[in-house]
Structure 1
Amino acid sequence: MSGLAGLVKNGRVVPHTVVVAHERQVAALKSVDPRVRAVLTADPCLDRITASATHRHRYRRAFDADGRRMVLLCSTWGPHSLFGTDPRLAERLVSSLPADEYRVAMTLHPNVWQRHGPLQVRAWLRQASTAGLALVPPGHDWRQAMVAADVVISDHGSLTSYAAAAGKPVLLAADGGPEVVAPPLSRLLASLPRLPPDGLLDTVPTPVAASTVATIFHRPGTAAATMNTLFYRIMDLPLPDPRPAEPIPLGEVELSDPTHYRTTVRDASTSATDARLTIRRTTARDGDPGGSLSAADTTPDIALLESASAIWADFPFHSRESATAHIRSLLSRLPGARLATAKTPDGTVVAALRDGSLISATTTTTLSATTAALHWWSTQAGRPRRIEVDAGAASGGVEPR
């Protein structure tokens, strides 16, 4: 109430009009001074999120989430926030969820970036980013991530309310503790399921009931008309023709591809010439004992590189000869690797095996997934001529020759 009291100074109401998002706020303003003029309107931010739903595919493409379920982590600031209570949650999720089936993204409150500085925040998130976390940079719009998301993991910040109102399934990672005092928010938080301690997302929750959201937002979809009427009346200008809320423009996203994968073969069916390989890839350091570790030659983690059974060269080569020389040098320097791969200028993959042989392969999937498929192929007694890889967003065909 002390904050509301600042609306009146020396007996004079300071603002011309106060725009509020719910009728209960009108009563709160009038309790300070009955002269305070209030206009009840919808939330323009929510209206633009809703208006952007038609363009959802564009936002998902910006996050490289095509073919994957996108999980958005939203954190407000302070010790009771998602990031404040569990700063390694993003790292655990991005490294444990199947990388070809999930895209994990994160947006942080501006105060997190301001208080700790971008250098420190990125240092805390370095392992998560290396494992494939998509990060909304400081000062950039978080709303495109909200539209693109399939499920939101959040806390007591305002983005939880927006996610619920936008019809997104929401899991609560932190409830805000003593910082939550507003009854509508506390009711919303109480209705949300908690993120399991192990972070598994086998069961996605259902969206929040509309009646719960209605206690926070007033008449979604009407903000533009109401606020335009108010602003043009204040300026004493004729009201222009009404326009609907505009979609959110595409913003910047910090994307990084993982530099290592733990690959587990879930199923392999083979014939005389063909094979169908179903694999699950995570960026966990440890995993199924039957799995194999592959890594890019650019990975900063030397321990991972030296323990990987397959290596891929993570940069383009100007000729097949230079690619071949490089992958053979990788095998000589990394005796634990069974094979190393690189992509030639024409898009063909060349692979050097530990036994000294050299093969080529055409592929319709990523170099990292091709490397995993060729590693499996190299262990087979009867090596098929074509491998159909079932790996979520990284699915495709590989033909060694």
Structure 2
Amino acid sequence: MDTRATGDGRTVLFAARSAVALYRLLDVLPALSGDHRITRRFTLVPGSDYDTDTLAAIDALGGRTVPWAEACERSYDLVVTASPKGDLHLLRGPHVLLPHGAGFNKSIPGEGSADSASGLDPEFLRRAARHEGAPIALHALAHPDQVATVTAVDPTSASRAKVIGDLTLERVLASSPLRDRYRAALGTGARTLLVLTSTWGPESLIRRHPELPARLARQLPYDEYQLAFIIHPNERSLLGTYELTERLAPALDAGMILAGAHDEWASVLIAADALVTDHGSAALYYCAATEDRPVVSVHGGGGELIPGSPMGVLLDRVPQLDRAEDIAEALRAYHPGPGKAAAEAAFAPPGDAVERLRTEVYALLGLTPPTHRAAPRPLQIPAPSRRVPAAFDVHVEATTNDGVRITRHPVGTGGPPGHHLAVEHGAASEQLARSAGLLLRRPLLAPTPAPVDLTWTADGWTRHTLSAYPGCRAAAALLPSGESLLRVRGHEQPYTVRAEPLTEGERIVRLDPSVALSAAHARLLARPGEMPARLNCHIGERTFHITIRPATEAEAMAAI
């Protein structure tokens, strides 16, 4: 059957073997966007061990699929793929081959020709070149050096190779101005966002260091660092989301974000302040899109990384992390330069990749491109399923400037117990609430107003809580004003606690009221007969000024 349209109509088939290949193909869509003459269809190329999520991703997109057997019976005006592997020669029509990663950094043992770069294996390239019905009409590359690489492995394919640029990088760069929005959606705030990236296979971070996320969650103070994990779609496909989240449960329960496979992984890279990586190419997008922020390696060697590749350039020059306990030192050891050098080895100077691809594709289709400009689509705002810890071991250290240093770690990370256990009532288990030294309550956000409302006063709730939980030393209610009402067992009056915001340049940094409550609680317990009017609270490198005063009647009667 010939489904190539007559007249101005054209049918383009996007053929993907796996979810990661599909995501690369989706970055092509802006080159064809807004053209009613083009019909877009998708098919799943059989034979990959990592194809589980591909059809579901197409369905979520709302794309129309063609079963493989049916696709092989038809002819298309263009077939777009992101991998030369599989029986692509059975799909009739001129082929456009895109890379599905940044650079050609890995050699997969036992797959195709020995020691050849994945994606540039001459066995697969020559197989495609031998079939007249399915020729590679365009081999799109991201860097001029890659043309020489293709020429070395398969001169026939090199004759059709052109430097287009990296479409995923174009999206990342176009989305970089949204960094603050991404960080807000992730709940990062003023913390350092440390991102772990793992490729797939036996040499990947997720396989070699499965315990690293939990160890970092235990090591890094919650109020200073946020963790996120980017995992290659192949590993997600192999394990499934449920199995993956169960394996990562300790770190996820401590607040780590597991980035989504499509779009979200790249928006998390833009939001990142530092990176821990194996030899996967996601790190190259981070290096290209950020201002040479720190990169640390956990790649321990093996047969997959190709020496002299862009990732080889990067990993040879960045600090190595051997233990989670050394993460802060490893980040400080990074010196600017390697990230920029690696990105320049992987990507041609960015800009207009979508337009260049559109020019080539429309020439192959025999159509005049639309008059509107083609541009990369910004990455979506991330919406991760985030677990926010509700119970903390709070470590308190007195400082010489009449203040306290507060360091919090989520309960369950395996660290030593702190000065007190601070628990958010109603968000943590009753067992933790019974063990709390400080119980606090945030304002309730009712989804719909009740016809006859019922609520606590701040002082009423704190009195009730100290009565209901005899082991609790202090109870606090966070007020809508941003202040908090704190009642300490044995003290006659409640206190109002407020953390003053900091100004850093043109930005304002605010402290979570629950942290200020822990600082005030610790000081009032340490000096029961003294009423501190002002307290310096140190969180990492920052110092917040906290005021503590007797609560007014209006504050005590505030509805919570």
- TM-score under structure 2 length normalisation: 0.62
> Are 2:488 and 2:521, in contact at CA under 8 Å, matched by a contact in 1?
no
1:378 lines up with 2:524 in the alignment: yes
Q: How does 1:144-293 map to 2 (within 5 A)?
A: 144-166=267-289, 167-175=292-300, 177-181=302-306, 183-184=308-309, 185-197=311-323, 198-202=325-329, 203-204=331-332, 205-207=334-336, 208=338, 210-235=340-365, 236-238=367-369, 240=371, 245=376, 247-268=378-399, 276-283=403-410, 291-293=419-421
Which residue is 2:546 aligned to? 397
Q: Aligned with 2:421: secondary structure? A: strand
1:299-357 per-position Cα deviation (integer Å, ceiling 9, x unaligned): 65677555442222356287774665655565456554321223356655333433375
Cα 1:5–1:301 shift into 2, 3 Å = farther
> Are 1:172 and 1:193, in contact at CA under 8 Å, matched by a contact in 2?
yes
Cα 1:283–1:289 shift into 2, 3 Å = closer
Deviation at 1:149, TM superposition (A): 0.8
Deviation at 1:71, TM superposition (A): 0.8
What amino acid sits opposite 2:532 in the alignment?
A: P
| Structure 2 residue corresponding to 1:142, chosen from 259, 262, 265 | 265
Cα 1:301–1:9 shift into 2, 3 Å = farther
1:66-97 per-position Cα deviation (integer Å, ceiling 9, x unaligned): 32221111112223211212222222222321
Return the alpha-carbon distance in structure 1 between the equivalents of residues 481 and 347 of structure 2.
55
Return the alpha-carbon distance in structure 2 between the equivalents of residues 346 and 188 of structure 1.
48
Return the alpha-carbon distance in structure 2 between the equivalents of residues 327 and 75 of structure 1.
46
Deviation at 1:21, TM superposition (A): 1.8
- What stretches of structure 2 of length at least 5 have no aligned partner? 1-120, 446-452, 500-510, 551-560
Deviates more, 1:80-89 or 1:162-171: 162-171
| Structure 1 residue corresponding to 2:477, chosen from 330, 342, 347 | 342
Cα 1:279–1:3 shift into 2, 3 Å = same
Return the alpha-carbon distance in structure 1 between the equivalents of residues 482 and 391 of structure 2.
21
> Are 2:171 and 2:376, in contact at CA under 8 Å, matched by a contact in 1?
yes
> Are 2:218 and 2:415, in contact at CA under 8 Å, matched by a contact in 1?
no
> Are 1:94 and 1:104, in contact at CA under 8 Å, matched by a contact in 2?
yes
Q: Aligned with 1:129: secondary structure? A: helix
Q: Aligned with 2:156: secondary structure? A: coil
What amino acid sits opposite 2:298 in the alignment?
A: A
1:353 lines up with 2:488 in the alignment: yes
1:268-314 per-position Cα deviation (integer Å, ceiling 9, x unaligned): 467xxxx6444233336566777433223356567755544222235
Q: For the pair shown, which has the larger CA radius of gyration, 1 or 2?
A: 2
Q: How does 1:299-378 map to 2 (within 5 A)?
A: 305-313=433-441, 316=444, 321=456, 327-328=462-463, 330-331=465-466, 334-344=469-479, 349-355=484-490, 357=492, 359-364=494-499, 365-378=511-524
Q: Aligned with 1:87: secondary structure? A: coil
> Are 1:100 and 1:394, in contact at CA under 8 Å, matched by a contact in 2?
no
Which residue is 1:15 aligned to? 136
> Are 1:295 and 1:304, in contact at CA under 8 Å, matched by a contact in 2?
yes
Q: Aligned with 1:264: secondary structure? A: strand
1:72 lines up with 2:195 in the alignment: yes
Q: Which has the higher contact order (CA 8 A, sep 6+)?
A: 1
What amino acid sits opposite 1:220 in the alignment?
A: P
Cα 1:344–1:192 shift into 2, 3 Å = closer
Q: How many residues align?
A: 397
Which residue is 1:297 aligned to? 425
Cα 1:22–1:176 shift into 2, 3 Å = farther
Cα 1:206–1:99 shift into 2, 3 Å = same
What amino acid sits opposite 2:394 in the alignment?
A: T
Deviation at 1:223, TM superposition (A): 1.9
Deviation at 1:227, TM superposition (A): 1.6
What amino acid sits opposite 1:296 in the alignment?
A: E
Return the alpha-carbon distance in structure 2 between the equivalents of residues 357 and 138 of structure 1.
55
Return the alpha-carbon distance in structure 2 between the equivalents of residues 78 and 251 of structure 1.
26
What amino acid sits opposite 1:263 in the alignment?
A: V
What amino acid sits opposite 2:147 in the alignment?
A: V
Return the alpha-carbon distance in structure 2 between the equivalents of residues 332 and 126 of structure 1.
34
Cα 1:3–1:267 shift into 2, 3 Å = farther
Q: Aligned with 2:177: secondary structure? A: helix
Identity %: 26
Cα 1:22–1:295 shift into 2, 3 Å = same
Q: Aligned with 1:98: secondary structure? A: coil
Q: Aligned with 1:51: secondary structure? A: helix
Return the alpha-carbon distance in structure 2 between the equivalents of residues 162 and 229 of structure 1.
25
What amino acid sits opposite 1:193 in the alignment?
A: P
1:84 lines up with 2:207 in the alignment: yes
Q: CA RMSD in A?
A: 3.3
Cα 1:327–1:127 shift into 2, 3 Å = farther
Return the alpha-carbon distance in structure 2 between the equivalents of residues 174 and 194 of structure 1.
8
Return the alpha-carbon distance in structure 1 between the equivalents of residues 279 and 519 of structure 2.
43
Deviation at 1:130, TM superposition (A): 2.1
1:50-70 per-position Cα deviation (integer Å, ceiling 9, x unaligned): 333333222222222232221
- What stretches of structure 1 of length at least 5 have no aligned partner? none
1:123 lines up with 2:246 in the alignment: yes
Which residue is 2:114 aligned to? none
Cα 1:254–1:290 shift into 2, 3 Å = closer
Cα 1:267–1:237 shift into 2, 3 Å = farther
Return the alpha-carbon distance in structure 2 between the equivalents of residues 368 and 387 of structure 1.
15
Return the alpha-carbon distance in structure 1 between the equivalents of residues 465 and 127 of structure 2.
67
What amino acid sits opposite 2:305 in the alignment?
A: V
